Structure 1
Amino acid sequence: MASNPTLICIPDISGFTRFMSDTNIELSAKVIPALLNKIIYANEIGLRVSEIEGDAILFFKKGPLPPFQDLINQCKSFFTQFYQQLEVLSQQYSDERGIDQVPKLGLKIILHFGKNVESVQIGNRIKLMGEDVIIAHRLLKNDIKEDEYLLISEQVLNQYKDEVIKRNFGWGDLQDEGERYKHLGDINYSYVKMRKLLE
């Protein structure tokens, strides 16, 4: 096992549970894999896939972080290509029962960075373990009143302290928030709403 500074990125499909309960299994078995594949193939900064978790992908990248703007552009690409695929799927399966639930799906993205990450080879996959992996997953449970957003933990932003971080991305402003989690304490983060990217 090796412990290294690691970027964790989790694109997570919001509305997944509702979609699965309101849609027949044949349609959901076509739609969800197509959306997850679109996200995987939109990766342009060398992220690796650790796990596919039903409605989410656990990406990671060990070693130096990419430039901040490259990281933001990658998340923007995940989001826009996800919605392009949603539109394609809506048209492709327009005659199927339950397709009206597809537009209700959204995407949220979690970015976290930590040094307490260990990687273990299980089969042909790398399993990530450690407190920072737990933190990244816990950050999916927050008080943000949006279905589409990019959440960046304080630990990620601190890695770019020598860079000038523009808090206005042109399509949204970073807003500071925080949560208290049992056993983990206070976790601070910033987030930006991503819905404006569709306008």
Structure 2
Amino acid sequence: MNEDHRGTIFIVDISGYSKFVTETENEAGSLIVCSLLESIIDANRLSFNISEIEGDAILFYRHGSAFPVKEILSQFELMLEAFKNRLKTFKESFPQTSFLSIKLVVHYGVIGRFAVGSYSKLFGQAVVEAHRLLKNGIDTHTYALITKEYFNEQRQNDFMLPDEATEVCELYDVDRLCYTYFPFNTGPLPLYAQDLNLGQTGT
């Protein structure tokens, strides 16, 4: 049965994955990636649903209203911290993991869903747009990208962008897409998770 609902698409993608795969034996590499993805899932304090794991990325989604942008940044910060902590356990034996990091794409729109046997798949224009945005012109590997559509839906309209945030519009094959990105590897940013105490929130 097909279902259409408005909601949030939240994709966490491992940066440097292709290079890592070419430099790591399959069995060890798969175990490392599995552990890193689990660290991201374990830090999912906003209780997003998981649609699927796409190799080096996790496609999360949530129907309903959009969280304030500050909560989205807090959630990413928690996932990034969990990812880095897990990464430390591999760096000595696998130095090629040192360049791995994560990035985030957040979009809002109509999320379609259909079943194929026992599998449930997301579909629709918003889902395609979110995946296109993973291939952007941002020149850093650790960031949160939040689209204009998400900003228009979120409940905290008075959110002040930090100086590090950059607003961009790019032309894709699907349309012209506008977003704001927040770099997380150019020095310390405000501790959103600390502000919101999400670290103490249950999953």
TM-score of the pair, normalised by structure 1: 0.88
Report the Cα distance in structure 2 between the residues aligned to 1:124 and 1:165, rounded to whole angstroms. 41
Residue aligning to 1:16: 17
Residue aligning to 2:166: 175
Give, in angstroms, the shift of residue 166 of structure 1. 2.0
Report the Cα distance in structure 1 between the residues aligned to 2:116 and 2:168, rounded to whole angstroms. 36
Contact 1:80 / 1:197 at 8 angstroms: preserved in 2? no
Q: Which amino acid aligns with 1:108?
A: K
Residue 190 (1) aligns with residue 180 (2): yes
Contact 1:154 / 1:189 at 8 angstroms: preserved in 2? yes
Q: Which amino acid aligns with 2:167?
A: D
Give, in angstroms, the shift of residue 160 of structure 1. 3.0
Name the % identity: 31
Residue aligning to 1:59: 60
Q: Deviations over 1:13-58 (max 9, x none)?
A: 0110110001111210211000001111110112000010000000
Contact 1:7 / 1:62 at 8 angstroms: preserved in 2? yes
Count residues with an aligned counterpart. 187
After superposition, the Cα gap between the structure-2 partners of 1:74 and 1:83, relative to the gap in structure 1 and judged at 3 Å, is same
Contact 1:51 / 1:57 at 8 angstroms: preserved in 2? yes
Report the Cα distance in structure 2 between the residues aligned to 1:18 and 1:34, rounded to whole angstroms. 18
Q: Which amino acid aligns with 2:69?
A: F
Residue aligning to 1:159: 153
Match of 1:112 among 107, 121, 124: 107
> Which ranges of structure 1 fall in alignment gaps of 5 or more residues?
none
After superposition, the Cα gap between the structure-2 partners of 1:7 and 1:188, relative to the gap in structure 1 and judged at 3 Å, is same
Report the Cα distance in structure 1 between the residues aligned to 2:157 and 2:46, rounded to whole angstroms. 19
Residue aligning to 1:130: 124
| Aligned-residue CA RMSD (Å) | 1.7
Contact 1:13 / 1:108 at 8 angstroms: preserved in 2? yes
Report the Cα distance in structure 1 between the residues aligned to 2:88 and 2:102, rounded to whole angstroms. 14
Q: Deviations over 1:141-172 (max 9, x none)?
A: 0111111111001111111376211211xxx6
Contact 2:146 / 2:180 at 8 angstroms: preserved in 1? yes
Matched position secondary structure for 2:22 = helix
Report the Cα distance in structure 1 between the residues aligned to 2:80 and 2:121, rounded to whole angstroms. 25
TM-score of the pair, normalised by structure 2: 0.86
Residue aligning to 2:198: none
Contact 1:50 / 1:125 at 8 angstroms: preserved in 2? no
Q: Which amino acid aligns with 1:67?
A: P
